[in-house]
Structure formats: structure tokens, C-alpha cells
Amino acid sequence: MNMHRTARRLSLLLAALVIAGCANVTKVDTGEALVRNRLAVTVASPWNQFERGLSDNTPTWTIEGITVDALQFYVGIKDGEAIAPAPAGDNKLLPLTFKSSMQPADVVALYQGLFTRDGSSFTLEKLEPAEFVGTRGFRFEYSLTRKVDDVRLRGVAYGAVRQGELFVINYSAPRLAFYPKYVGQVEALAKTARVKG
């Protein structure tokens, strides 16, 4: 049983690495960076950028590698729009649709649905008001145990609804080594976020 589980994990990791190898990866240098031509952030140290993410077209940045740490940008999601498409070929999953009337707890529940639709387990640790993209927004911290490899992650996200559109920056990484190493950079970057146009 353990041998089968290990083989499954290795095959999934290999698939992720193959996908990542085929993705368009660019370097994000220090200074101002513009995500999706709408969200400007100030970058203090370089990141690697996967413009289309791994599978859901979400711009994703990483320092250690996309299967280790991930900084995701959900930019200008409009009322009635899904935050991410359902996985291809899975008709059982309903779209995770944003509504501009949602309260912060509703948005967190939406992202919980996104993070757990593969069977991973999510625990909300904290939800609090926070300034984000020049308006009153929210910040939440969470724990996540990935189903695919049982890795325990910590995450932090900043979000706000601005003029009916949702903006969220989400960062997750393994809780003991990588999360504490980079979360300070992520917090500083989130505080610089502003919407252009």
C-alpha cells in the first residue's frame, strides 16, 4: 500500500514538473510589476512567474518552485465570474462564482472551495479587516493539508472588492520551512498593491 501511494505521489509530482517545464516562466525583477495589466505591486526581491499558472490560468509566482511555494494573483474578477475554471472533464464540480455582494467570510468560503476541491483539507486560522488595493479589504490566514502528498501548508491572503471587482493575493508554502522564510516578503508586497485603470 505504501509503495503504491509513493508511486502515485511521484507520478503526480513528475506530471506537475512536466507541466511546469512547458509553462512560460519569466523572471520578475525588483521594482514595480504589473499583473494582468491591472494590479501593480512593488517587488523587493526577484520571483519566477508562471503567467498562466499550472492549470487554472491564474498568474502564479514562486521563489523555490511552483510545487513548493506559490503566490497567486486573482485580478479584477467580475460579478458572476468564476474565480477559477473547474478542472477539465470534471462535471461534478460547480463553478466557484464570485458575487460582488459577498462579505469577506463568503469570499474566504469561495477560496476554501477552490483549495479543497481536490480533497485537500482547509482550516481557517484568522480573518480580519485589512487595507488592500487602496480600500477596506480583508486578510485571512489558513492551514491546508494537500491530499496529493500530505504536505502541511500555511497560507495568507489579502483581498478586497473594489468597484464590484474582486482582487486577491494568496500565498502558500510548507508551514515549517518555506512559509516563515518568505511570508514577510509577501506581506510587504501585498501592502504595495494598487489597481491601475
The continuous run of DSSP H or E covering 184 comes out as: helix 178-191
Architecture of domain 2-195: 3-Layer(aba) Sandwich (3.40)
* Domain ranges, ordered by start, for the chain: 2-195
pLDDT of residue 51: 64
Residue 85 has pLDDT above 60, yes or no: yes
pLDDT of residue 80: 95
Tell me what the pLDDT averaged over the chain comes to. 86
Of the chain, the end-to-end C-alpha distance in Å amounts to 54
- The pTM (predicted TM-score) of the whole model is 0.84
| DSSP letters for 69-112 | -EEEEEEEEPTT-BSSPPPTT-TTSPP-B--TT--HHHHHHHHH
pLDDT level of residue 128 (50, 70, 90 thresholds): very high
Lowest mean pLDDT across 132-136, 145-149, 158-162, 182-186: 145-149
Residues 6+ apart with CB under 8 A from 20: 50, 54, 65, 66, 67
Please write the tens of the pLDDT for every residue from 39-75: 999 999 999 998 665 566 899 999 998 889 999 999 9
pLDDT of residue 112: 96
Residue 94 has pLDDT above 80, yes or no: no
